[in-house]
Amino acid sequence: MLTSRRTIRIEWGDCDGAGIVYYPRYFEWFDACTHGLFEAAGLPMTRLLGEYSFVGIPMVDTRARFHRPSTFGDEVTIESTIVRWGRSSFDVQHRLLNGSELLVEGFETRVWTVRDGERLKGAPVPDDVRGRFL
């Protein structure tokens, strides 16, 4: 399975009044890391939008498990992997680490989405897209 990695330095603006990362920042990073995972597979969003009849990969479910806080000045790494493929959906797992210590786990379910007239609907993920992650 393809895993992408992104290093982030925790800035003062990422933190709340207690000096720890304000939890919505994790979800912003996880979203960026999902797109980075597609880029690592050679499929940046600009290419996907140009080559496939789809409108995106919206998130339909997300959650996180917080093990330890991240604080100002920490340098952390996020490892992202697609851990399950469905017909039109897939699950991404993010692991935020400080060195080898697991701080946060993030989970997303996303759907390959196309336009159906005025509506949006899930569609099968193309085999050639899926194959780049295996």
In this structure, the chain runs to a length of 134
The answer to whether the beta carbons of residues 117 and 126 sit under 8 Å apart is no
Residue 69 three-state SS: coil
- β-pair type (101-111, 75-85): unpaired
Alpha helices in the chain (DSSP H): 24-40, 45-51, 127-131
Q: Spot the catalytic one: 14, 16, 74, 116.
A: 16
To the query of whether residue 74 is one of the catalytic residues in this protein, the response is: no
Which residues form the catalytic set?
A: 16
